[in-house]
Amino acid sequence: MSLPTDPSTLAGLVVSGDRRALARALSIVEDRRPGDRELLTLCSGPAPGPPIVGISGAPGAGKSTLTDRLVAERRRSGASIAVLAVDPASPFTGGAILGDRIRMQEHAGDPGVFIRSASSRGHLGGLTAAAGRMLAVIGAAGFDEVIVETVGVGQSEVEVVDAADTTVVVLTPGWGDAVQANKAGLLEAADVFVVNKADRAGADETVRHLHQMLDLGGERRWRPPILSTVATTGGGIDELSEAVARHRRYLADSGEGEDRRRLRRRRQVHLALHEALVSRLGGETDTGDGLLGAVERGEIDPWTAAARLLPGG
Ligand SMILES: Nc1nc2c(ncn2[C@@H]2O[C@H](COP(=O)(O)OP(=O)(O)OP(=O)(O)O)[C@@H](O)[C@H]2O)c(=O)[nH]1
Ligand SMILES: [Mg+2]
C-alpha cells in the first residue's frame, strides 16, 4: 500500500504508530519538502513527549556500541525506543553511519525499535535545526524513549545535545580526552560521564581527572556520575541505564526537566528563524549574483544585507 502524501493523513498514521509513515514524515521534515510545516504543527503539542537521551562523544568513542547495548537493555523492560544518529561530518564518517546501520541490524524486525540517521548534507540552516524537526516528529510517534547519538565533542555537538533531557558524554581512556571535554564545554553539558573502552589502560586515570575537574567546578545541584563501561561486552551498561533513570527522576523532582523543555522549545524558534532567513538569502549555495555576492564584493555591508532580509528592511 502506498503512503498518503497529505500531511494530516500522514501525521495521523505517525501518531498511530505506523513506522513507514514515520520514515516518510521524517524525510519530509528533514529535507523541508512541501507539507513539512503542516506536519510539524500536527506533530507538536503541549504534551512533553518521550524523554530524550543524548549520547555524544569523539568519533569512534563507542557511542553506537553503547547505544546498541542500551537499546537491548531497555527492550528487556518492554520500552519502545527510537534512535536518531546525527552525523555532522558526513564526508569523514559517512562510512560509520553505514556501519551503525549494520550493527543495529540486531534490532531489525523488532517493532519496538526504530533507527534513523541524519547527516549534514544539504541542510540549509544547519543540522541542529533539522535534528530538532526530526525529534518533534519522532516525539509524536508514541515511543517510550528516544536516543540521539551525536558525533564529536565540539560546540555544534553541545547544541545538539541541548535537545536532550539527559546528556551522556562518552570519553575513552587518556586524560587528554578529559581536558578536551572541559575545553569544549562538555563538562557543563554532561549529565552523565561514561569512560568507555575501560578494558584499555588509563581508564581509572581518566575517571580521576574528570572527578578533579568536576570538583573545581564548584557546587551544583546535580553532580554528573562518572561511569566506566566496556560497550563491546556490555560491562557497566546496567549502571549506565540506572544513572540515566536517576537523572530522569532528578529532572522531574527538581523541576529542571520542565525548564529544559521550555528552553528547548524557545531554541527551536531561533533555529527556525535562522533557517527561514538563510533560505530567503538564497541559501549558502549563493553563486555570487545575489545579496551574498554583493556582500562579498563589498558593495553592501553584512549588516545592511541582514536588515534587508527582514520585513520592512
Ligand atoms: N576495546 C573496546 N573497543 C570498543 C569498546 N566499545 C566500542 N569499541 C570499538 O570501537 C570502535 C568504534 O565503536 P563505535 O560504537 O562505532 O563508536 P562511535 O562512537 O559510534 O563511532 P562514530 O559513530 O564513528 O563516531 C568499534 O570497533 C567498536 O567495536 C570497548 O568498550 N572496548
Ligand atoms: Mg556511531
Q: Is the distance from CB of 227 to CB of 192 less than 8 angstroms?
A: yes
97 CB near ligand 1 (under 6 Å): no
Q: Sign of the CA dihedral 192, 197, 199, 205?
A: negative
Task: Tell me which residues of the chain have a pLDDT lower than 50.
Answer: 90-99, 101-102
The pairing of strands 226-228 and 52-57 is: unpaired
Q: What is the pLDDT of residue 26?
A: 95
Yes or no: say if 187 and 211 are a contact pair by the CB < 8 Å rule: no
Distance 236 CA to ligand 2 centre (A): 19
Q: What is the pLDDT of residue 285?
A: 55
CB atoms inside a 10 Å sphere around CB 243: 21
Check if 60 has its Cβ closer than 6 Å to any atom of ligand 1.
yes
Q: What contacts 286, CB < 8 A, 6 or more positions away? A: 292, 293
State the cell numbers at 198: 575501560
Using the mean position of ligand 1's atoms as its centre, give its distance from the Cα of residue 65 in Å: 6
Interatomic CA distance for residues 262 and 273, integer angstroms: 17
Q: Whole-model pTM?
A: 0.89
Asked if 167 and 191 touch (Cβ cutoff 8 Å), the reply is yes
Ligand 1 center to 288 CA (angstroms): 43
Which ligand lies nearest to the CA atom of residue 96 in the structure?
1
CA distance 245 to 50: 13
User: Among candidates 258, 267, 274, which has minimal Cα distance to 159?
Assistant: 267
**What is the per-residue DSSP string for 110-149?**
-TTEEEEEEE-TT-TT-HHHHHHHHHHHHHTTT-SEEEEE
Q: Which three cell numbers stand for residue 101?
A: 546501520
Give the three cell numbers for residue 103.
550493527
| 186 Cα distance to chain centroid | 14
Counting from 1 in the atom list of ligand 1, the atom nearest the Cα of 198 is 31
* pLDDT at res. 104: 60
Res 95: pLDDT: 43
CA dihedral 235, 236, 242, 243 (to 10 degrees): -150
To test the ligand 1 pocket, which listed residue (92, 93, 115, 232) has its Cβ within 8 A of the most ligand atoms?
232
Q: For ligand 1, is residue 232 a contact (CB within 6 Å)?
A: yes
Q: Which residues pair with 195 in a beta bridge?
A: 171, 228
Q: Where are the alpha helices (DSSP H) in 219-288?
A: 237-254, 256-280
228 lines ligand 1 (CB under 6 A): no
SS3 83: strand
Residue of minimum CA distance from atom 28 in ligand 1: 62
Question: For residue 200, what is its C-alpha cell?
Answer: 584499555
For ligand 1, what atom is nearest to the CA of residue 151? 25
User: Is the beta carbon of 231 within 6 A of some atom in ligand 1?
Assistant: yes
Greatest Cα pair distance, the chain, in angstroms, is 63
Q: Ligand 1, residue 65: give the atom nearest the CA.
A: 15
Q: How far apart are CA 240 and CA 63, in angstroms?
A: 13
**Nearest ligand to the C-alpha atom of residue 66:** 1
**Rounded to 5, what percent of the chain is helix, strand, coil?**
50, 15, 35
The SS3 assignment for 59 reads coil
